Structure 1
């Protein structure tokens, strides 16, 4: 379930003797932006993530006589397609959700109707309201399809991470700091959130702060087509490290009230010149 929640439960936010006033996270990205470009936005930055396992239980039999069995396979298929319809028909397009079924399991032979079928899905939402609606729709759709097909269904629904929601003021603070540290031409406000998820979301539920993305796409690679984070083809530019260190230091200094040095607007250029 992520280390952040465990650390919070153990008192990390109050370890210094008083609660921290703000928190920032920095995450490199292998696609979407060249090395050293930073982006964040106010409000939702990343999605909530739920993991769902569904077991459909029927009655096995011979494939030549489906009328004497209760086939869980077509019931499972109906559930998978109905879940996509539920998202498009029941969820506000301006508060979106994603339901992706990534694994399906059933049967051992072409002529045998299995007793059980299983599928696993990930659910992504960007608000607590949408999260509640999607979960209710998911459970109702699965159980309704099961009843229609004369089978039963068991749902193991695990809420993993809430949405990562940036504080409006802290997002603006992070953007301005990034402009001072990295240069205004290397900073932009992200036009929309991403559907990935982060355990830093638990931190932002306790203190104001912002989650910032930092480009690490190598030179000569098109950020628009570069493989995404977690892809086995993803490549990261190590030159992102000094940019990340400078930005984290700048955020800490400014939040503590210390002015950045006059040359802080181009620390990396100064370092390169040396």
Structure 2
């Protein structure tokens, strides 16, 4: 049987696992129920399993019968603080928490790959490390797992690392895609608190109102992006949180907003970082107020190795057929902590279309198709099986 046939044979198991994960999602680094489900799915396989100390991670090593290249395969496992509105029979039973980004599929696919590869252990060209990671959604779980030694789990650093991520609208259904070089943006944060002095809403001249100042800063930041960023080296800046005041007739003493910034090069990041801080401080100062500005360095850019990306394309074509892979034309502005792994190990971050093409990830209406589970498991298994057979040109 082929790798895809092996994965298809366990499709029902993968669907059951995915739906159990979906119904009981967890947020952040502490995912005890998710970890328990993963361990149950791996039970009985010839794996060396270790658990995280500071997070609910699972690292499993499948040993090859002979020395060869080590391959790391990663799945993120955490959910989002989103109230699900899909109406699915297996919808989240946890109020305000949802697998709106498809990490439940990633986890099931990697468990499936472990089963497929364990059945072919004698044919493995090298050891395989399965990295089941919590805390991708802003918790930097990859950094925590690296600090705890996931890259040394096999006794030596991996020769290649791969991760697979489903998308609801950015990629056509059933299509795998990747690109060499920058694939996902760096994701940083900006926090600005404008400090004035409060007072009565009927006598604004007796106070130092921070609200119009913070509004002016928000508007000016949008202009900053369009006027000072190269359109061929873009910046995305979105203010996602703005808070001020308690009552309509009370001028507050402070006003605060938080923004996310996405960049695709080190030069663009350095430029927008300096410019945004200067702008916020200067606008506040011009009005006689003070701005406290914090720039939060987040995930770095996700950069695919060109040779590994070509290897992924060849693997998808061999495992599933030539029509199932298309090159990704442009980087995506999302952030991804698998970038931490790719900063150290050559590899590739791969996208898979699994939605209806209209509803994007992170939506409370996001639905992902179980039909892609065997395909993802087969491709992950194929990457490990082919990596040591001279398939990398």
Q: Same fold (TM over 0.5)?
A: yes
* Residue number among 243, 247, 252 corresponding to 2:384 in the alignment: 252
CA distance in 2, matches of 1:18, 1:26: 23
Instruction: Check if 1:38 corresponds to 2:176.
Output: yes
The match for 1:10 is: 148
CA distance in 2, matches of 1:10, 1:168: 28
Please, which runs of 5 or more residues in structure 2 have no aligned partner?
Answer: 1-138
Report deviation, 1:25.
Answer: 0.5
More displaced, 171-180 or 142-151? Answer: 171-180
The match for 1:93 is: 231
* Residue number among 356, 359, 368 corresponding to 1:227 in the alignment: 359
CA distance in 2, matches of 1:109, 1:19: 57
The match for 1:215 is: 353
- Helix, strand or coil at the partner of 2:248: coil
Instruction: Check if 1:67 corresponds to 2:205.
Output: yes
CA distance in 2, matches of 1:198, 1:138: 23
More displaced, 230-239 or 169-178? Answer: 169-178
CA distance in 2, matches of 1:33, 1:131: 26
* Residue number among 318, 332, 340 corresponding to 1:194 in the alignment: 332
CA distance in 2, matches of 1:178, 1:207: 21
* Residue number among 211, 217, 236 corresponding to 2:368 in the alignment: 236
Report deviation, 1:156.
Answer: 2.7
CA distance in 2, matches of 1:72, 1:32: 39
Instruction: Check if 1:141 corresponds to 2:248.
Output: no
CA distance in 2, matches of 1:167, 1:97: 23
Report deviation, 1:133.
Answer: 1.1
Report deviation, 1:187.
Answer: 0.9
> TM-score, with normalisation over the residues of structure 1?
0.88
CA distance in 2, matches of 1:32, 1:104: 28
More displaced, 203-212 or 87-96? Answer: 87-96
CA distance in 2, matches of 1:71, 1:32: 42
**Contact 2:171–2:351 (CA<8 Å) still a contact in 1?**
no
The match for 2:316 is: 178
CA distance in 1, matches of 2:290, 2:205: 17
Deviations 1:192-227 (A, max 9, x none): 11111111000011011110001112xxx4x2xx21
**Contact 1:35–1:239 (CA<8 Å) still a contact in 2?**
no
CA distance in 1, matches of 2:288, 2:341: 45
Report deviation, 1:149.
Answer: 1.1
* Residue number among 225, 233, 245 corresponding to 1:107 in the alignment: 245
Report deviation, 1:11.
Answer: 2.0
Report deviation, 1:157.
Answer: 2.2
Please, which runs of 5 or more residues in structure 1 have no aligned partner?
Answer: 260-274
Q: Following TM superposition, where does structure 1 have runs of at least 4 consecutive aligned residues deviating by more than 4 angstroms?
A: none
CA distance in 2, matches of 1:250, 1:213: 16
**Contact 2:190–2:294 (CA<8 Å) still a contact in 1?**
yes
RMSD: 1.4
**Contact 1:43–1:166 (CA<8 Å) still a contact in 2?**
yes
Report deviation, 1:33.
Answer: 3.5
> TM-score, with normalisation over the residues of structure 2?
0.62
Report deviation, 1:34.
Answer: 4.1
Report deviation, 1:253.
Answer: 1.2
**Contact 1:105–1:117 (CA<8 Å) still a contact in 2?**
yes
**Contact 1:166–1:208 (CA<8 Å) still a contact in 2?**
yes
Greater strand content: 1
